[in-house]
Amino acid sequence: PVPLRALAERADLRIGTAVDMAALDDDTTYRRATGREFNSVTAENVMKWEVVEPTRGTYDWSGADELVRFARDRGQVVRGHTLVWHSQLPGWLTAGVADGSIGAGELRGILRKHVTTEVKRYKGRIQQWDVVNEVFEEDGSLRNSIWLQKLGPSYIADAFRWAHAADPKAKLFLNDYNVEGVNAKSTAYYELAKRLRAEGVPVQGFGIQGHLAIQYGFPGEVAGNLARFERLGMQTAFTEVDVRMILPADAEKLATQATYFRGLLDACLGARSCKSFTVWGFTDKYSWVPGVFAGQGAATLTTEDFGRKPAYGAVGEGL
């Protein structure tokens, strides 16, 4: 079949995948498919803080540099993921906050330096940055992270301002899971985005991760949710789509999975604001799902031996 990338280019869409750098280095089938099927890539882990600054002041950009180079050589854009998150923080940072050796004032400076350093390094090479990731709880209250605890809610606006100063052309995104449809959490994002934009804070996009599970059903009002962010003048994107199921997979579950992928893709294609649709890995061989959700898996477009699943066909047909 025609690669997804070629189909997406006709539809004026960026179709992306998260990239596992170990697989990219070691697995030629994976490497070829990443270049052939996608015109956008996201680092699954190598742009996260724990990877880029494992020791305070000592940086490791090797994985991130390699991905940016891979993308440039293949005419792919890069989504930057992610600058401010409560998870995958370096040990020196969480330990320093916990034992009080890093106080609030110093912490703010550390965050500013992190955002500025990383965004500047890839200035002009990142199309969209996930500036803040997963900052709300399911009920729409702000997540009780070290950032909220030590810096208060202003850390969000600060992060966007710092990122914008470092690369004024990159589109800056909020990003979270369980925000596909209209619910308390996505409404909290809508209200936050509206307020930040009214205050002139440079936030241009709303990223919807799209980690679905067939046993929980397809989210309601996805189109309406995209539309309200679009009315704020924002871009939208699906940033981490996968659709897990309780194992073992069977034909019926795989057919349902296909309709879920297609449902999110159709919502994106139906919204002028949505020009980027990224899957969180494209083969079950390297999917994060089985390691995190016990008993679940088979969440991506192809099997562990890269065989195309019904979901792959459904995405291709949708494009």
Percentages of the chain per state (helix, strand, coil), in multiples of 5: 45, 20, 35
Minimum CB distance to ligand XIL smaller for 165 or for 293: 293
Per CB under 6 A, 178 contacts ligand XIL: no
Q: Write the interaction track for ligand XIL spanning residues 56-95; mark x where CB under 6 A is met and - where it is not.
A: ----------------------------------------
Per CB under 6 A, 312 contacts ligand XIL: no
Per CB under 6 A, 288 contacts ligand XIL: yes
Asked about 44 being catalytic, the answer comes back as no
8 Å CB contact between 129 and 172? yes
Minimum CB distance to ligand XIL smaller for 13 or for 19: 19
Cα–Cα dist 229/250, whole Å = 37
Minimum CB distance to ligand XIL smaller for 45 or for 183: 45
Q: Dihedral, CA atoms, 262, 220, 236, 6, nearest 10 degrees?
A: 0
Minimum CB distance to ligand XIL smaller for 86 or for 194: 86
* Spatial CA neighbour of 209 closest among 168, 246, 180, 251: 180
256 CB burial (10 A radius; 0-12, 13-18, 19+): middle
The tokens for 142 are: 């702000």
Q: Which residue is nearest to ligand XIL (CB)?
A: 288
Among 34, 127, 204, 209, binds ligand XIL (CB under 6 A): 209
Cα–Cα dist 115/178, whole Å = 25
- Direct distance between the N- and C-terminal alpha carbons of the chain, in angstroms, rounded to an integer: 13
Among 34, 39, 44, 167, binds ligand XIL (CB under 6 A): 44
Per CB under 6 A, 133 contacts ligand XIL: yes
Asked about 50 being catalytic, the answer comes back as no
> Minimum distance between the CB of residue 101 and ligand XIL, rounded to whole angstroms?
27
Cα–Cα dist 108/116, whole Å = 12
Residues of the shown chain interacting with ligand XIL in the complex, contacts defined by CB under 6 A: 44-45, 133, 209, 240, 288
Catalytic residues: 134, 240
